[in-house]
Amino acid sequence: MTQGIIQTDVYTDFQGINALRNRVRTDGDSEETLRAVAEQFEALFLQMMLKSMRDASLGDSMLDNDNTKTYQSMFDKQISIEMSKGEGIGLADMLVQQLRRNKGVDASEKAGISVSPQRDFTELTNTRPNLLQVKKPSETSSLDRQVPDWKPESPKEFVRKLWPHAKRAADELGAKPEMLIAQAALETGWGQRMVRGADGRNSFNLFGIKADNNWQGARATTETIEFRDGLMRKERAQFRAYTSPEESFSDYVDFLKSNPRYNDALRQADDAPAFTRALSEAGYATDPDYAGKINRIMDGSHLREALGGVEISETGPRS
């Protein structure tokens, strides 16, 4: 970093920041000032990036508390300043060159490198150490193939979109598709409260299936309501993430069939009240009224009216 002006070597050094602001006002065209401002901008950029990385983590550690989070934030802010010193990540160099061009100064002469007006940030950072290069996730572990986001505007749209998938899944389970639609409506608020990942992407998790250690696919972490010892509590949990509603229905079928504890429920799949009650008794959900809520949705006017707009399948009327 330039030694000609006061440095901001510690993120709490407000004197250095104020001195830099005053230097810009009085000598904003000098090389030293341009470099110092660019490095401060790069440090702020790194702070934002580190914060985003923290926010996108899988969740808080069991040992985390307000104190550790405070010191973690302090560390991130300080390390961002250290990373911006010297060669940094190339962002400061790019800014200095851009500012020089704006002031009519030949950037290549000043920097001693060949820089065309079209040279972009990607090319510039390729000459720097790959400090922040992140390995691209494999196609099978990401949501890159995810269908466009979906947020139905009404129960009727919710049912129309999901009915074909519910019908196929119900056929595999020997259940009624209306029951699967009702369960998905309960879990997602008719599609209005879909679980989303840290990046805002829709998980398409229609049945509230959580991601345990055996789940190898994508995950989405969010707050959820659970009942513990008869009391309703807000908890943070990881849920399975899918690329489409169809994939969610397919995994729901596999999930029930692959878990022996749901064998009793599957034997009663053709009886919706018995099926939902057996699911609840097997521990599918912590809500003591889980089965009752599904059955009330099945018998309610919202579903009945929505089903009225669903086209009859080739195999005949809905069962």
Task: Map tokens 């989405």 to a residue.
Answer: 220
**Collapsing DSSP states into helix, strand and coil, what is residue 233?**
strand
Q: Is 171 a catalytic residue?
A: no
Q: Is 27 a catalytic residue?
A: no
* From 153, 226, 254, 305, active-site residue: 226
**Element housing 225 (H / E):** strand 219-228
**For residue 194, which phi and psi values (nearest 5 degrees)?**
-70, 140
* From 39, 76, 178, 251, active-site residue: 251
Q: State how far the Cα of 136 lies from the Cα of 150, in Å rounded to an integer.
A: 26
Residues present in the chain in total? 319
Q: State how far the Cα of 74 lies from the Cα of 39, in Å rounded to an integer.
A: 19
Question: Position 97: which residue type?
Answer: Q
Q: State how far the Cα of 7 lies from the Cα of 35, in Å rounded to an integer.
A: 11
Residues forming the active site: 226, 251
